[in-house]
Chain A
Amino acid sequence: MSLKRKDLLSLASLSVDEIALILETADSFKEVTGREIKKVPALRGKTVVNLFFEPSTRTRTSFELAAKRLSADVINFSPSSSSVVKGETLLDTARNIEAMQADIIVLRHSSAGAAETLARGVKSSVINAGDGWHEHPTQALLDLYTIRGRGMGFGGLRVAIVGDVSHSRVARSNIYALTKLGADVRLVGPPTMMPWGVEKLGVKVYSDMDEGLRGVNVIMMLRLQLERQGRALFPTIREYARLYGLTAERVKLADTGAIVMHPGPINRGVEIAPDVADSLSSVILDQVANGVAVRMGILYLMSEAG
């Protein structure tokens, strides 16, 4: 089978088969990234444009590396250096990029739905690299790939997603993906950081972290968005760290062999204790390494001749 879609916008719209195909395809590219010459000619002659309206190092670098390892030409476009500051709309910017024969546009934008708007307006394939608080599908896919790489199956897998779920596109994409695959998903965090009615997505909500972590196979920490600290979602960072910070003691509440994940960048000593971040159960750097392979797989699948 192949991915019969022009764009990759969300996990909500992907089928279980499509998710499985992406993960399997990533396996082949994982092998490529382990070679002496880490480059294959699969996307030779194609152009990938990274259109990032929000600062990002990890995701942009990961996409750039993925595209380069597939032999595509890569252009990085960021608003500070572009005409956006001169008042051009998103769609006009994208149409200009498209006029330069971009095959794939990777978009990061602060507004939810930006990727979908763009996808409707251009013929190029659009990959959502994060749109506001909506979704971050490639992050969720690399998280799934990392879990699977640890030999864990998804059916009945107990996963706790801990932190500011409301403002997290990573959490949203992972909730859609994991529940679709049959995992048992728990959300842990203060009520101020839980979206209204999130239980409807088939997840359980815990405000007590110890209770939420008991017996889980995967602990997925979210970054505390310190830039939102002014919004009174919790009284102080210290209090947050005490109630929802992942310590070695708390990891022990989870299943033996449980893994600790974090999409990065990590706030050491806030949501995650330094010794946990560096422990054997931490797969944070695996996530980064897998990100390149997963994105290579996605770019490959999206590069079908239109």
Chain B
Amino acid sequence: MQPSHQDTVGRFFYADSPRLGRHTIESKRNVTTGNHAQRDDVRVVMDAGDIARALTRIAHEIVERNKGVKDLALVGIRTGGVHLAHRLAKRIQNIEGAQIPIGELDITLYRDDLALRKNQPVLRKTSVPFDMADKVVVLVDDVLFTGRTIRAAMDGLMDFGRPGEIQLAVLVDRGHRQLPIKANYIGKNLPTSREEKVQVLLEEGGEDDRVVIFKA
């Protein structure tokens, strides 16, 4: 079963433990929301064309900023980020004609709220099949929210070696950071309220490509 990728505020998980409040990282896992498509308050903020164009632009920006693809690697954060990393790699290959290594990162074990959880999240595969040393690693995620996922991802990445540089690419930046983290490449800046949810739905997850926003 493919879990839907989605971004949720912490209290969604911790209804039974209010004191935990916001000290949680945004999570894209273990959430079943029912069929949001049938709700009337769901708004599509990016369609397939918007996503494709945003990714093409990000691919060009990555190549431009790094003056080519030498020592470049992409690491997607499970699950949405992994799909996006593969799409970016394909575009970069079209631009530069070179294949770049791709890694997949599951950040569960690095979550800052792990010790507080009632139920441990199901772990998924991490694989970084290249030497990280001195590489420019572009972390790829679907939605940038509190920044806690990215903090966890950077800690996880460091355990594979010492990258020369870490950059961050996200499809949507929805604001509300709780850590001093900033993306280098952004598909769309999306002003949101904390109570809203942003979901990136992708073909790889069995959906039509789109980004939706709705009230929790």
Residue positions of A touching B, CB distance < 8 A: 1-3, 21, 24-25, 27-29, 31-32, 35-37, 39-46, 300-301, 303-305
Contact partners of A41 in chain B: CB under 8 A: 109-110, 114, 155
Q: Chain A: which residue is nearest B121 at the CB level?
A: A2
Q: Which residues of B contact A2 (CB under 8 A)?
A: 119-122
Question: Which residues of chain A are within 8 angstroms of B155 by Cβ–Cβ distance?
Answer: 41
B138, chain A: closest CB distance, angstroms = 20
In the bound complex, residues from chain B placing their C-beta under 8 Å from that of A36 are 159-161
Is B31 in the interface zone, CB < 8 Å from A? no
Main SS class of interface, A: loop
Is there an interface contact between B159 and A305, defined as CB atoms closer than 8 Å? no
Question: B126–A305 contact, CB under 8 A?
Answer: no
Partner of B160, one of A25, A37, A43: A37
A1/B122 in contact, CB under 8 A: yes
Min CB distance, A39 to chain B, in Å?
7
Q: Is the CB of B159 within 8 A of A35?
A: yes
**Are A305 and B118 within 8 A (Cβ)?**
yes
Complex interface: chain B residues within 8 A of A25 (CB): 122-123
Contact with A along B103-126 (1 / 0, CB 8 A): 000101110001111111111111
Q: Is B189 an interface residue (CB 8 A)?
A: no
Assess the B160–A31 pair: CB atoms within 8 A: no
Is the CB–CB distance between A303 and B120 below 8 Å? yes
20 contacts between A and B (CB under 8 A): A1-B122, A2-B119, A2-B120, A2-B121, A27-B125, A28-B123, A31-B125, A32-B126, A35-B160, A37-B159, A40-B109, A41-B109, A41-B110, A44-B115, A45-B115, A300-B120, A303-B115, A304-B119, A305-B116, A305-B118
CB contacts (< 8 Å) of B161 on chain A: these are: 36
B115 engages A28 (CB within 8 Å): no
Question: Given A40-B109, A40-B110, A41-B155, A304–B117 Cβ distance below 8 Å?
Answer: yes
Known contacts A31-B125, A305-B117; A42 and B109 CB within 8 A of each other: yes
Q: Which residues of A contact B126 (CB under 8 A)?
A: 28, 31-32
Contacts of B124 in A (CB 8 A): 28
Which chain A residue shows the least CB distance to B110?
A: A41
Interchain CA distance A25-B106 in the complex, whole Å: 12
Given contacts A24-B123, A28-B123, A41-B155, 18 further A-B contacts (CB under 8 A): A1-B122, A2-B119, A2-B122, A3-B120, A28-B124, A36-B159, A36-B161, A37-B158, A40-B156, A42-B114, A300-B120, A300-B123, A303-B120, A304-B118, A304-B119, A305-B115, A305-B116, A305-B118
Q: In the complex, which residue of chain B has the Cβ closest to the Cβ of A31?
A: B126
With an 8 A cutoff between CB atoms, is B93 at the interface?
no
Distance, CA A36 to CA B116, complexed state (A): 28
Nearest CB in chain A: distance from B149 CB, A: 15
**Quick one: closest B residue to A25, CB to CB?**
B123
CB-defined interface of B138-172 with A at 8 Å, one 1/0 digit per residue? 00000000000000000110111100000000000
Q: Which of B54-91 contact A (CB under 8 A)?
A: none
Q: Counting CB contacts under 8 A, is B127 at the interface?
A: yes
Residues of A within 8 A of B159 (CB): 35-37, 39-40
CA distance A163 to B153 in the complex (A): 48
Interchain nearest-CB distance for B42 vs A (Å): 28
Contacts of B160 in A (CB 8 A): 35-37
